[in-house]
Amino acid sequence: MTLEVLLDGPPDGPALVLLPSSLRDSLDFDALVLPLAAAGWRVLRPQPRGMRGSRGPMAGLTLSDLAGDVHHTIQQLGGGRAVLVGHAFGHFVARLTDRLFPAAVRGVVVLAGAARVFPAGLQDALLIASDPAQPEANRLQALQHAFFAQGQDPRPWLAGWHPHLRAIYRAASADPPKDDWWPHAQSPILDLQGEHDPWRPPATRDELRTALGANRVTVAVVAGASHAMVPEQPAAAAAAILSWAAGLSAR
């Protein structure tokens, strides 16, 4: 098992782990790293298994395996505990890490997490957007619909996908089932939503806070952002993360 982990920020700073969205790798967070590291955080970006330099068993891959990879990263490079930032699918991994390894997690940022039940049609858009064999015009339309707010340029996300892992990661996303972990949390959560994210309709703004309690979940909305969020509004996303994380216990 080999995990490639990108490291930024002071070696003795508190650890913050960035986990990317579905079929994408940790280079997506480039625009977030500088402000987070400049604020004194030790930023860790483990590449998901099968992507870039990360290698490990892929047959029968589960969310628990991916959470174990995050825990290993925290133990080896994060001083034993960290704040986790999971972008979209990455929040599945972040929240299961919190469930399985609560002593290693100070808090979880659900960054552009979808509603508990995905709105119809969006997974089809993901399929088209992430497939380099599709015509570019179709991919751009799917990206604009499912990932980028009007006025934002989706072209950077024509690249950066790992579609050959689609079946493996789709199976992993359902093991364990969402009902086993979604209604539970050990650590504080920042539910950071895009104002125009179709995966998270306005009617679902408070569903996580309602399920887990207002004492555990803070909801914040990033204006002018959709599901991609990081390439759309990196400064606003970083500012929201830093403001919330500053109030966490140092336990």
**Residues 81-113: tens digit of each pLDDT:** 999 999 999 999 999 999 999 999 999 999 999
pLDDT at 221 > cutoff 70 = yes
pLDDT of residue 229: 98
Sketch out the chain's domains with CATH numbers.
5-117+171-245 (3.40.50.1820)
Of residues 53 and 249, which shows the higher confidence score? 53
pLDDT of residue 250: 64
Q: How many CB atoms lie within 10 A of CB 121?
A: 11
List CB contacts of 132: < 8 A, sequence separation 6 or more. Answer: 139, 158, 161, 163
Residue 216: phi, psi to the nearest 5? -110, -30
CA–CA–CA angle 159, 160, 163 (5° rounding): 100
Determine how β-strand 15-19 pairs with β-strand 5-8: unpaired
Rounded to the nearest integer, the mean pLDDT of the chain is 97
Q: What mean pLDDT is predicted for residues 39-64?
A: 98
- Nearest Cα residue to 103 out of 80, 72, 84, 85: 80
Please state, in angstroms and rounded to a whole number, the distance separating the CA atoms of residues 229 and 106: 23
Percent of the chain with pLDDT over 70: 99
Q: Is the pTM of this model over 0.95?
A: yes
Please state, in angstroms and rounded to a whole number, the distance separating the CA atoms of residues 133 and 242: 39
- DSSP character string of 6-38: EEES-TTSPEEEEE--TTB-GGGGHHHHHHHHH
Determine how β-strand 15-19 pairs with β-strand 189-194: unpaired
- Nearest Cα residue to 227 out of 19, 21, 17: 21
Confidence of residue 251 (pLDDT cuts 50, 70, 90): low
Confidence of residue 249 (pLDDT cuts 50, 70, 90): confident
pLDDT of residue 231: 97
Please state, in angstroms and rounded to a whole number, the distance separating the CA atoms of residues 34 and 156: 19
pLDDT of residue 245: 97
- DSSP character string of 133-164: TS-HHHHHHHHHHHT--TTS--GGGGS-B-GG
Mapped onto helix, strand or coil, the DSSP state of residue 242 is helix
pLDDT at 18 > cutoff 60 = yes
Mapped onto helix, strand or coil, the DSSP state of residue 213 is coil
Q: What mean pLDDT is predicted for residues 164-189?
A: 97
pLDDT of residue 100: 98
What's the sign of the alpha-carbon dihedral 74, 80, 84, 90? positive
Percent of the chain with pLDDT over 90: 98
pLDDT at 225 > cutoff 60 = yes
